[in-house]
């Protein structure tokens, strides 16, 4: 007997009676009414509904006789109503607690999801910062390699030029001596004091300023190369460098000289000019 198909059974079970006892009460009373079934249950408190003796089910001409007075029936009905109200309150409280628990689980699940998203975002930011740092380091190393190659090439050309001059003048030549002389010129700071770096501003031909810090022993050609690589005036034509106070136009030979030897320490402003 399913409680969904038999509302009287569901009502009795809602009041807290065991299913087997409620089913037996309905069988015995012929399912005539819930009140009759409750009267039978109250009259048989020791019957758990598991026994199925003959005469349990009422026939068409058989009636169930209950030895309860009207006062006892009224008292029992009052107790049943109190029990029903209490049972419904218990069910409502269980539902309330279950809803609270579901809400806690929902919020906990939402917090875990948000925490996971935050951690993923933080990991992505750390990865992006590491990639950007690596790109900057790689760019810096690449620029330094270019500067080293240019400086080495200029040193080589200067040494070859000096060797040719010495040869034309009938003087003994030595490639190693020429290199040593040029290298010594680069390494000998003049008037740089204790400074190891200098701040150079290059004003391009369109007026755009470029500012960068260089080592005092770096050649002036490094400054021009930096300006060529970072110019934003939209041009690609070669240019020279000069100062205005005092006015001085730097030559190709000056491009090989260290910044300290050219008096561009601890800071200086250079003007780009067309060649």
Q: How many C-beta atoms lie closer than 10 Å to residue 234's C-beta?
A: 6
pLDDT of residue 269 exceeding 80? yes
Mean pLDDT, range 130-156, rounded to an integer: 82
The number of angstroms, rounded, from the C-alpha of 75 to the middle of its chain's C-alpha atoms is 69
Greatest mean pLDDT among 27-31, 39-43, 228-232: 228-232
Tell me the pLDDT tens digit for each residue of 225-243: 999 999 988 888 889 999 9
Confidence of residue 209 (pLDDT cuts 50, 70, 90): very high
Asked if residues 200 and 243 have their Cβ atoms less than 8 Å apart, the reply is no
Mean pLDDT, range 128-143, rounded to an integer: 85
Residue 180: its pLDDT value, please? 40
Confidence of residue 174 (pLDDT cuts 50, 70, 90): very low
Which of these ranges, 31-40, 111-120, 204-213, 256-265, has the smallest mean pLDDT? 31-40
Enumerate the β-bridge partners of residue 268.
200
41 to 48, 187, 206: CA distances (angstroms) = 9, 113, 106
- Residue-averaged pLDDT of the chain: 79
Residue 4: its pLDDT value, please? 54
Which of these ranges, 40-44, 67-71, 145-149, 242-246, has the smallest mean pLDDT? 67-71
Sheet strands (E) in 130-255? 197-203, 209-215, 239-244, 247-249
- Identify the H or E element spanning 271: strand 267-274
Asked if residues 229 and 143 have their Cβ atoms less than 8 Å apart, the reply is yes
Residue 264: its pLDDT value, please? 94
The per-residue DSSP string of 45-107 comes to: TT--S----TT-S--SS--------HHHHHHHHHHHHHHHHHHHHHHHHHHHHHHHHHHHHHH
Rounded CA gap, 121 and 53, in Å? 73
15 to 7, 26, 86: CA distances (angstroms) = 12, 15, 8
Cα atoms in the 13 Å half-sphere on the side-chain side of 38: 23
181 to 222, 226, 270: CA distances (angstroms) = 20, 26, 27
Mean pLDDT, range 152-176, rounded to an integer: 71
């Amino acid at each position: 007997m399913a409680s969904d198909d038999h509302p009287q059974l569901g009502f009795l079970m809602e009041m807290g009676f065991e299913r087997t006892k409620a089913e037996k009460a309905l069988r015995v009373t012929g399912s005539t009414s819930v009140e009759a079934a409750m009267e039978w249950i109250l009259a048989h408190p020791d019957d758990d509904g598991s026994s199925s003796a003959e005469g349990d089910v009422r026939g068409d001409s058989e009636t169930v006789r209950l030895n309860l007075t009207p006062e006892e029936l009224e008292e029992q009905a009052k107790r049943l109503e109190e029990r029903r109200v209490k049972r419904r309150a218990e069910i409502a409280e269980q539902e309330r607690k279950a809803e609270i628990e579901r809400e806690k689980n929902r919020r906990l699940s939402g917090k875990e999801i948000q925490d996971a998203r935050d951690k993923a975002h933080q990991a992505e930011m750390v990865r992006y910062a590491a990639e950007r740092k690596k790109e900057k380091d790689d760019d810096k190393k690449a620029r330094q390699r270019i500067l080293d190659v240019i400086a080495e090439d200029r040193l080589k050309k200067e040494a070859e030029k000096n060797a040719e001059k010495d040869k034309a003048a009938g003087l003994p030549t030595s490639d190693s001596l020429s290199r040593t002389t040029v290298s010594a010129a680069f390494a000998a700071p003049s008037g740089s004091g204790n400074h190891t770096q200098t701040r150079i501003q290059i004003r391009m031909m369109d007026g755009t300023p470029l500012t960068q810090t260089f080592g005092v022993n770096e050649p002036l050609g490094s400054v021009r190369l930096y300006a060529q690589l970072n110019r934003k005036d939209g041009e690609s034509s070669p240019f020279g460098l000069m100062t205005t106070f005092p006015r001085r136009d730097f030559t190709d030979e000056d491009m090989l000289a260290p910044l300290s030897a050219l008096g561009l320490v601890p800071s200086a402003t250079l003007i780009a000019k067309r060649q």
